[in-house]
Structure 1
Amino acid sequence: MRVAFFVNSIETEEPRFTTTALAMAALARGHDVCYITPGDFVLRPDDSLMVRVTTVAAGKYKNAQAFHDGFQSKDAKVQTIDVREVDVIFLRNDPSLDSDDRPWAAYIGAMFGRLACERGAIVVNDPGGLALAQNKLYFQGFPEAVRPETLISKNIEEIRTFVAGHRKGVILKPLQGSGGKNVFKIATPDDANLNQIFEAVSGEGYLIAQAYLPEAKAGDTRLFMMNGKPLVRDGVYAAFRRIPAKGDLRSNMHAAGTAEAAKITGGMLAIAEMVRPKLIEDGMFLVGLDIVGDKILEINVFTPGGLPDIAGMHKIDFSEEIIEALENKIAIRKVYAGSLPNRALATL
């Protein structure tokens, strides 16, 4: 099969990225691999959807750096093909990275992904599902039992009242965004920094005020879900703990957080089971649950990362399972002769 990985840009991809691990796993299993970016689609007057692809040369690469150097080199093969020549488009861009400088690019993957589905490509995560998840408001659609108490508002007095009702403090962050940008802890409604923080963050839109979970000081656990179930091999879960840097609230790897092995508890698996129905309903093939205690802080449905870290800890490359799952979807589609909608196929 031909697998196309949709990313923010070729230049900003790095060897340590989970997308790199997935692409290398696809190559190792004998598939054709290419990369596409937001500016690469063309819808022609005859309604054909073309896409400009950067193809990764077949062969074995000794490591992720060698692979990375190969597809980013000036000699990489670039061509325009009909999207019908692509079997799977794996949407792996982070919309928040484009929201400021290239707002037009942020959700191009979901937009053109829908058109690609109509022309026979399997697109994961389902573009219709991703269109529902364009900001953190999507999280409010999951069971209340798995979510910290949350207020979403642009009114500072509403936020003060919410803070006053939470003696352990509140986390304040923008509704739109990721990677730990503009995340603050407010201890009391009289916090001297509240006005300044509100002015800075509210300029980006609505704010989320979320009850602070003291367990978050020790970090959170990212658990990968595939096809609506925890990803596991030989009793080892695709999961890791994200530990905040000293003096930092955020455990995001982009914010200098570090990774260590995680212990998956029965409580975490119960949380995963509670969110499973909605993940399946929305066609979310691969996601990362960020868990603290008995709550989920966030659900990453666009670019859940960390598979190379997990491989380093456990000597298990879960990328192989993910690519095999895509192979199975191709086989299922052939059996059903295109009668299954993409959203259903995405989580089978």
Structure 2
Amino acid sequence: MNVCFLMYPWEEIVPEHDSSLALIKECVKRGHGVAICSPSNLTIRDSVTNAFCTVIGRMEKIPSSAKSFYAKAKLRVEMLPLAGFDVIFFRANPPLDSIMLNFLDSVKDDVFIMNSLEGMREANNKLYTAAFGDAHSNIIPNTHVSKNKQYLIDRIKESKSDKMILKPLNGFGGSGVILIEKSAMNNINSLLDFYIHSGGSSNYVILQDYIEGADQGDVRILMLNGNPVGAMKRVPGQGDHRSNVSAGGSVQKHSMTKVEKALCKQIGPKLVKDGLYFVGIDVIGGKLVEVNVMSPGGITYINKVYKTKTKVEEKVVDFLESKVLDKLQAFDRRSRLRKTVQDA
């Protein structure tokens, strides 16, 4: 099969820790054609959606380490039609570019896209977790989202806890996530001004109940086709409440609890229904904190702490191959049936 990774530029990859590179390497290892392109490289030529792609040359011998693979990869740039690929694997960092999705709309019926465009539109920000919470569910922490500063201040004052989590709606990688306390209300007023009005626009802010034990870290679980395929504990760095590895956190081996397994079983069907086949969920104290659908990381870290024979990227590429095979078989079956009718 031929796979196009729609992601950040090749030059920005950090080989030792990059989940996208692990997936690319696994595809090349299996003999699949691989190209990458950034959202800014999308273009239309003669009414056909194309992209200026960085094509990765096939290798006779695949280096064992990601660092060697990255260094030895032979690259060339070509303009290629996106409908000619079997898979478009979305791995771009947030925020989601709506124009990019409009480009992809033209090929969504021809190519298997991971994750689906409809699912990406619905789930690309932190509001998606609210879809899993209702009056009968305690699956997510109590959450407020607003641009109204006074409303948010009132929610902080009425909270039974002295601590709450404040974060921007469209942040990623732990950026902008802060711990606030009622004892510092004078600072909260100016913080809300900054978050709501930064960038010269009016921004939504998320205010979330603090979950006891959050200072000990969170659990990142990678979900594939609605089922967990790997998990790790992320522990905050010294002097920081954030557990994101990109923010200085560290990784530990983690065995999923019964509560975490039940949570995955509960949310898995909706993820699949929304076409969100590969996502990363963040869990604290058995509660769903975030769903990461654009470029979930953690593959290399999970592989490292578990040291299992079957790597996460192998399971993901197995899934891609099965989806492409299903699509080809469906096309072949329809072609045979159409010929039967035509020849009647």
**TM-score if structure 1 supplies the norm length?**
0.87
- Alignment partner, residue 214 of structure 1: 212
What is residue 162 of structure 1 aligned with on the other side?
155
SS at match of 1:203: helix
Residue 186 (structure 2) aligned to one of 192, 212, 223: 192
Shift of 1:330: 0.8
Rate the CA distance shift 1:257–1:339 in 2: closer, same or farther, 3 A.
farther
SS state of the match for residue 10, structure 2?
Answer: coil
* Residue pair 2:223, 2:278 contacting (<8 A) in 1 also: yes
SS at match of 2:255: coil
Range 192-201 or range 215-224, more displaced: 192-201
Deviations 1:108-141 (A, max 9, x none): 54332322213x1111011111011232122211
Partner of 2:107: 116
Contact kept, 8 Å, 2:51 with 2:80, in 1: the verdict is: yes
- Which secondary structure state, in structure 2, belongs to the residue aligned with residue 337 of structure 1? helix
1:181-235 alpha-carbon deviations (Å, 9 max, x no partner)? 111222217522102211221124010100001211110011111011112xxxx
Q: Report the counterpart of residue 337 of structure 2 in structure 1.
A: none
- Contact 1:110/1:128 (CA < 8 Å) preserved in 2? no
Partner of 2:278: 286
Deviates more, 1:53-62 or 1:288-297: 53-62
Does 2:8 align with 1:14?
A: no
Counterpart of 1:227 in structure 2 is 225
Q: Hey, what does 1:101 align to over in structure 2?
A: none
Aligned CA distance change for structure 1 residues 92 and 338 (closer, same or farther; 3 Å):
farther
- The residue that corresponds to 2:174 in the other structure is 180
Q: Does the CA-based 8 Å contact 1:167-1:188 persist in structure 2?
A: no
Task: Tell me which residue corresponds to 1:309.
Answer: 301
Contact 1:94 1:106 in 2 (8 A): no
Deviates more, 1:219-228 or 1:62-71: 62-71
Residue identity matched to 2:108: C
User: Would you say the 8 A contact 1:92–1:303 is kept in 2?
Assistant: yes
Which letter does structure 2 place at the counterpart of 1:330?
Answer: V
Q: Report the CA distance between 1:148 and its aligned residue.
A: 0.6
State the distance in 2 between where 1:189 and 1:160 align.
13
Alignment pair present for 1:131 and 2:130: no
Deviations 1:302-321 (A, max 9, x none): 11111111111122311011
Structure 2 runs not aligned, ≥5 long: 335-344
For the 8 Å contact 1:43–1:50, the answer to whether it is kept is yes
C-alpha distance in 2, partners of 1:339/1:150?
48
Query: How far apart, in 2, do the equivalents of 1:95 and 1:5 lie?
Result: 15
Q: Is the 8 A contact 1:143 1:275 kept in 2?
A: no
2:333 and 2:178 mapped to 1: Cα distance?
A: 48
How far apart, in 2, do the equivalents of 1:210 and 1:86 lie? 41
CA contact (8 A) 2:35 2:53 kept: yes
The residue correspondences of 1:30-49 to structure 2 (distance < 5 A) are 30-45=31-46, 47-49=47-49
* 3-state DSSP of counterpart to 1:214: coil
Q: Which residue identity is paired with 2:302?
A: I
User: How many aligned positions are there?
Assistant: 321
- Corresponding residue SS for 1:171: strand
Note the residue ranges of structure 1 that are not aligned, 5 or more in a row.
Answer: 97-104, 232-237, 341-348
C-alpha distance in 2 between matches for 1:115 and 1:61: 37
Q: What is the match of residue 2 of structure 1?
A: 2
**DSSP-derived class of the 1:191 partner:** helix
Contact 1:143 1:274 in 2 (8 A): no
Equivalent residue of 1:39, what SS?
A: helix
CA drift at 1:20: 0.5
8 Å Cα contact 1:111-1:127 kept in structure 2: no
Give the CA deviation at 1:87. Answer: 0.7
In structure 1, the partner of 2:291 is 299
- Is residue 91–residue 124 contact of structure 1 (8 Å, CA) maintained in 2? yes
Q: Percent identity?
A: 30
Give the aligned residue type for 1:213: I
What letter is aligned with 1:276? Answer: G
Q: CA deviation at 1:143?
A: 3.0
In 1, the alpha carbon distance for the partners of 2:324 and 2:79 equals 23
TM-score (norm 2): 0.88
